[in-house]
């Protein structure tokens, strides 16, 4: 059986071609393929499969050209007589990350060659990300940060890819050792990635090692959003919350989960909200930690108590002085994309300029050497580097464009109700810390609510143990439903 070449993708270049081979290669590349290892494993429903670890060098003008995507991946699927795997539409393929060294060197060269602006004329972040913060981040990035450490951390986890609705979706799938663990799909946001969720894997899948009970264990599925990080980029319009939500339902079905729960913050909150409104078969309930729906109905939200008025002030500040990134990405993501893919420092500054609370916590880690929780220098630079090396800053920004047009198209129409139980946790450092009255306005069927005593917009990243405690409490009543 001849092997099928599934994709060969040219990347931006200066007179040179860079190719990414995404699956089996056909016969003309057979002499350039290096087989690294072969492993047998038992797949779904007891099927026997073989993983063939291989890589291919594509030479142009005598030079080995390395792609911005991983240079080799593990693939698993039906095995032909030659022992090679052949892809199929519902195939779930093991994934391994290995970025070419020359791409990392090019990133460091670009950081070193940065053309710096003069210092801001204010003593706060009102003019944007402060020069001292970005310069210290750049210094750390080129001298102390170890990308290979993150690669090793990710490769120590069960990672996979699968094609859903025309997009290759990357995901981490960690199964708990505890019986009757509840499957949970968690969705990251922007400017995050699966990196922001790594800290909760242990507490959620192995609660007994983190002060919890065995009956509170979860099987975790952590997908990378389409166009973000290690997932593929959509090549057509329409990848808004609803379409991603349907893809996640397909993913959980493909993994064999007939009952599960979902959680998300930031972009992930919007996707999880859509899942709750679609109520696919098997979805038991949802939890979110950002009240994204507040933006469109802020004039209808209560403003009687001090807490409610403070939330209104925070929301008004965001919509008048804090949403520069939101406005640009929801109207002109392609325009900002040129800067984000050309300069690592521009990318870093853009990603740091998200919200006041997380910015000052991150600045404290770099300038003062005093990180807050999981917002350490390494974790922050890991996340930025993942965006840079995968070249996904522009494609990630396009979600906001899709979101804006979906919202405009639905103007004046009441969204379908969420028909599954809803949990919500308010973290004090959130962009707007939603009081219970606000949450009940957006989600009349609220089943769980709590106000945490610490944490901000990136709650799972910043306070993973506290966040895990909230997940256990929110979903505990649904385990036997």
State residue 437 phi and psi, 5-degree precision: -60, -35
User: How far is residue 46's CA from residue 461's CA, in Å, rounded to a whole number?
Assistant: 36
Give mean pLDDT, residues 46-69.
36
Q: Measured between alpha carbons, how far is residue 37 from residues 40, 69, 185, 455 in Å? A: 10, 21, 31, 44
User: How far is residue 374's CA from residue 465's CA, in Å, rounded to a whole number?
Assistant: 10
Per DSSP, the three-state class of 244 is: helix
Give mean pLDDT, residues 186-203.
98
**pLDDT tens, 348-371?**
999 999 999 999 999 999 999 999
The residue count of the chain comes to: 481
pLDDT value at residue 413: 85
pLDDT value at residue 481: 73
**pLDDT tens, 67-107?**
333 322 333 333 333 333 434 578 999 999 999 999 999 99
Q: Between 50 and 162, name the one with better pLDDT.
A: 162
Give mean pLDDT, residues 337-352.
98
The closest alpha carbon to 195, from 375, 402, 392, belongs to 375
- Please provide the average confidence, as pLDDT, over all residues in the chain: 86
Residue 150 has pLDDT above 70, yes or no: yes
Contacts of 156 (CB under 8 A, 6+ apart): none
Contacts of 35 (CB under 8 A, 6+ apart): 52, 53, 54
Contacts of 152 (CB under 8 A, 6+ apart): none
Q: How confident is the model at residue 155 (pLDDT cuts 50, 70, 90)?
A: very high
Q: How confident is the model at residue 253 (pLDDT cuts 50, 70, 90)?
A: very high
Residue 49 has pLDDT above 80, yes or no: no
Pairing state of beta strands 167-174 and 92-94?
unpaired
Give mean pLDDT, residues 377-386.
98
Contacts of 414 (CB under 8 A, 6+ apart): none
Give mean pLDDT, residues 55-69.
33
Q: Measured between alpha carbons, how far is residue 104 from residues 31, 146, 353 in Å? A: 28, 10, 24
Q: Measured between alpha carbons, how far is residue 115 from residues 110, 135, 345 in Å? A: 10, 11, 9
170 burial class (0-12, 13-18, 19+ CB within 10 angstroms)?
A: buried
Mean pLDDT is lowest, of 87-91, 184-188, 256-260, 473-477, for 87-91
* Cβ atoms of residues 74 and 50 within 8 Å: no
Residue 249 has pLDDT above 60, yes or no: yes
Residue 208 has pLDDT above 50, yes or no: yes
Q: How confident is the model at residue 480 (pLDDT cuts 50, 70, 90)?
A: confident
Pairing state of beta strands 260-264 and 182-187?
parallel
Q: Residue 31's CB: how many other CB atoms inside 10 A?
A: 6
Contacts of 465 (CB under 8 A, 6+ apart): 203, 210, 211
**pLDDT tens, 217-228?**
999 999 999 999
Residue 21 has pLDDT above 70, yes or no: no
The closest alpha carbon to 162, from 94, 80, 225, belongs to 94
Q: Measured between alpha carbons, how far is residue 268 from residues 128, 155, 225, 357 in Å? A: 25, 23, 9, 19
* Cβ atoms of residues 384 and 474 within 8 Å: no
pLDDT value at residue 351: 98
User: How far is residue 462's CA from residue 455's CA, in Å, rounded to a whole number?
Assistant: 6
Residue 29 has pLDDT above 70, yes or no: no
Instruction: Kindly report whether the global pTM for this prediction surpasses the value 0.85.
Output: no
- In the chain, residues under CATH classification 3.40.50.1820 are 95-481
pLDDT value at residue 86: 38
User: How far is residue 133's CA from residue 334's CA, in Å, rounded to a whole number?
Assistant: 26
- Residue identified by tokens 């910043």 is 462
Q: What is the CATH number of domain 95-481?
A: 3.40.50.1820
Give mean pLDDT, residues 36-58.
40
283 burial class (0-12, 13-18, 19+ CB within 10 angstroms)?
A: buried
pLDDT value at residue 88: 58
pLDDT value at residue 414: 84
Residue 46 has pLDDT above 60, yes or no: no
Question: Could you list the active site residues?
Answer: 266, 400, 457
Q: Residue 450's CB: how many other CB atoms inside 10 A?
A: 15
């Amino acid at each position: 059986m001849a092997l099928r070449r599934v994709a060969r993708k040219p990347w931006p270049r200066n007179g040179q071609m860079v190719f990414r081979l995404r699956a089996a290669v056909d016969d003309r590349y057979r002499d350039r393929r290096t087989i690294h290892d072969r492993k047998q494993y038992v797949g779904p429903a007891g099927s026997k499969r073989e993983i063939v670890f291989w890589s291919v060098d594509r030479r142009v003008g005598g030079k080995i050209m390395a792609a911005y995507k991983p240079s080799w991946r593990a693939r698993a699927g039906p095995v032909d007589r030659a022992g090679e795997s052949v892809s199929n539409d519902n195939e779930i393929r093991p994934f391994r990350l290995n970025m070419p060294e020359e791409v990392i060197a090019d990133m460091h060269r670009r950081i070193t060659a940065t053309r710096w602006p003069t210092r801001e004329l204010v003593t706060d972040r009102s003019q944007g990300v402060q020069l001292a913060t970005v310069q210290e981040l750049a210094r750390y990035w080129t001298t102390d940060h170890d990308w290979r450490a993150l690669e090793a951390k990710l490769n120590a986890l069960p990672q996979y890819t699968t094609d859903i609705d025309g997009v290759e979706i990357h995901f981490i799938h960690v199964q708990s050792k505890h019986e009757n663990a509840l499957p949970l799909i968690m969705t990251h946001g922007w400017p995050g990635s699966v990196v922001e969720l790594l800290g909760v894997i242990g507490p959620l899948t192995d609660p007994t090692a983190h002060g919890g009970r065995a009956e509170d264990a979860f099987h975790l599925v952590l997908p990378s959003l389409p166009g973000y990080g290690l997932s593929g980029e959509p090549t057509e319009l329409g990848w808004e919350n609803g379409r991603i939500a349907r893809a996640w339902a397909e993913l959980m079905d493909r993994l064999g989960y007939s009952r599960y729960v979902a959680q998300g913050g930031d972009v992930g909150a919007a996707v999880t909200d859509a899942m709750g409104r679609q109520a696919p078969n098997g979805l038991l309930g949802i939890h979110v930690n950002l009240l994204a729906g507040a933006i469109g109905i802020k004039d209808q939200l209560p403003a009687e108590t001090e807490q409610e008025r403070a939330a209104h002030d925070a929301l008004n500040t965001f919509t008048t002085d804090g949403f520069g990134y939101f406005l640009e990405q929801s109207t002109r993501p392609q325009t900002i994309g040129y800067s984000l893919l050309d300069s690592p420092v521009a990318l870093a500054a853009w990603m740091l300029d998200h919200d006041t609370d997380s910015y000052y916590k991150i600045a404290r880690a770099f300038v003062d050497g005093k990180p807050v929780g999981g917002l350490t220098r390494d974790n922050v630079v890991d996340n930025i580097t993942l965006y840079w090396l995968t070249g996904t800053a522009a494609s990630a920004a396009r979600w906001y464009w899709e979101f804006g047009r979906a919202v405009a198209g639905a103007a004046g129409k009441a969204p379908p109700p969420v028909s599954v139980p809803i949990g919500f946790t308010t973290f004090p450092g959130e962009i707007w810390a939603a009081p219970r009255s606000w949450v009940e306005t957006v989600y009349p069927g609220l089943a769980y609510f709590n106000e945490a005593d610490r944490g901000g917009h990136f709650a799972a990243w910043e306070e993973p143990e506290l966040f895990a405690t909230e997940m256990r409490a929110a979903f505990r009543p649904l385990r036997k439903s």
